[in-house]
Structure 1
Amino acid sequence: MDEALIRGLVPGVLGALVRRGADFAAAEDAVQDALVEAIRVWPTHPPREPKGWLITVAWRRFLDATRADATRRRREELIAEEPGPGPVSGADDTLWLYFLCAHPSLSPSSAVALTLRAVGGLSTRQIARAYLVPEATMAQRISRAKRTVSGARFDRPGDVATVLRVLYLIFNEGYSGEVDLAAEAIRLTRRLAATIDHPEPAGLLALMLLHHARRAARTTADGGLVPLAEQDRSRWDTELIAEGVGILQAALARDRLGEFQAQAAIAALHADAPSVGETDWVQIVEWYDELVRLTDSPIVRLNRAVAVGEADGPRAGLAALAELDDSLPRYAAVAAHLHERDGDLATAVRLYAEAARKATNLAERDHLTRRAARLNNRRGR
Structure 2
Amino acid sequence: MSDVDEAITRVHHEEWARVVAALTRRFGDLDIAEEAAAEAFATAVERWPADGVPPNPGAWLTTTANRKAIDRIRREDKRDDKHKEALVVRDDDPHEPLGAIDDDRLRLVFTCCHPALAVEARVALTLRMVGGLTMPEIARAFLVAESAMGQRITRAKAKIKVARIPYRMPSAEDLPARVTGVLAVLFLVFNEGYLATGPDTDPVRHDLTSEAIRLTRLIRELLPEDGEVAGLLALMLLTEARRTARVSATGELVALDEQDRGAWDATLIAEGHGLVRERLVAAAGGVAPGRYQILAAINAVHTSARDIRDTDWSQVLALYDQLVRLDPSPIVALNRAIAVAELDGPQVALAVVDRLKPRLADYHAYHATRADLLRRLGRGDEARAAYDRAVDLAGNTAETASLVRRRDRLR
> TM-score if structure 2 supplies the norm length?
0.64
The equivalent residue for 1:351 is: 382
Paired position in structure 2 for 1:123: none
CA distance 1:99–1:72, shift in 2 (3 Å) = same
Within 5 Å, give how 1:183-222 maps onto structure 2: 183-196=210-223, 198-222=226-250
1:152 aligned partner, one-letter code: I
Cα shift readout 1:119-169 (whole Å, capped 9, x = no counterpart): xxxxxxxx66x96xxxxx9xxx8x969954465348976454333232222
Report what 1:374 is aligned to.
409
In the TM superposition, 1:191-270 aligns within 5 A as: 191-196=218-223, 198-254=226-282, 255-270=287-302
| In structure 1, C-alpha distance between the alignment counterparts of 2:82 and 2:370, rounded to whole Å | 65
State the alpha-carbon separation in 2 of the partners of residues 185 and 237 from structure 1.
Answer: 18
1:75 counterpart = 2:54: no
Q: 1:287 aligns with which of 319, 340, 344?
A: 319
Counterpart for residue 120 of structure 1: none
* 1:333 aligned counterpart, secondary structure: helix
Task: Kindly provide the amino acid, as one letter, of the partner of residue 97 in structure 1.
Answer: L
Q: Secondary structure at the match of 1:71?
A: coil
CA distance in 1, matches of 2:206, 2:312: 36
Q: Which residue of 2 aligns with 1:91?
A: 99
Asked whether the 8 Å contact 2:122–2:156 carries over to 1, the reply is no
> 5+ residue gaps in structure 2?
1-10, 45-52, 138-145
For residues 63 and 306 of structure 1, do their structure 2 counterparts lie closer, same or farther at Cα, with a shift above 3 Å needed?
Answer: closer
Are the equivalent residues in 1 in contact too, given 2:16–2:130 (CA < 8 A)?
no
TM-fit CA distance, 1:290: 0.6
Q: CA deviation at 1:288?
A: 0.5
Contact 2:27-2:33 at 8 Å conserved across structures: no
Structure 1 or 2, whichever has the larger Rg, is: 1
Residue in structure 1 matching 2:207, options 177, 180, 187: 180
Asked whether the equivalents of residues 95 and 195 of structure 1 are also in contact (C-alpha less than 8 Å), the reply is no
Alignment partner of 1:163 is 2:182: yes
1:326 aligns to 2:357 (yes or no):
yes
Deviates further, 172-181 or 299-308: 172-181
Q: CA RMSD in A?
A: 4.7
- In structure 2, relative to structure 1, the CA distance for the partners of 1:61 and 1:374 (3 Å cut) is closer
List per-residue Cα deviations over 1:269-305 (Å, max 9, x = no partner).
1111000111111111110011111111222122212
Structure 2: how far apart are the matches of 1:340 and 1:364? 18
Task: Count matched residues.
Answer: 339
| Residues in 1 aligned to 2:21 and 2:109: alpha-carbon distance in whole angstroms | 14
What's the CA shift for 1:353?
A: 1.7
Q: 1:273: which partner in 2? A: 305
Matches within 5 A, 1:26-105: 26=32, 68=74, 71-75=77-81, 89=97, 91-93=99-101, 97-102=108-113, 103-104=117-118
Matched residues in 2 for 1:158 and 1:11: separation?
A: 26
Q: Which has the higher contact order (CA 8 A, sep 6+)?
A: 2
Cα deviation, 1:311-339, whole Å, max 9, x if unaligned, reads: 344444345446x2334343443344334
CA contact (8 A) 2:242 2:263 kept: yes
2: distance between equivalents of 1:72 and 1:63?
12
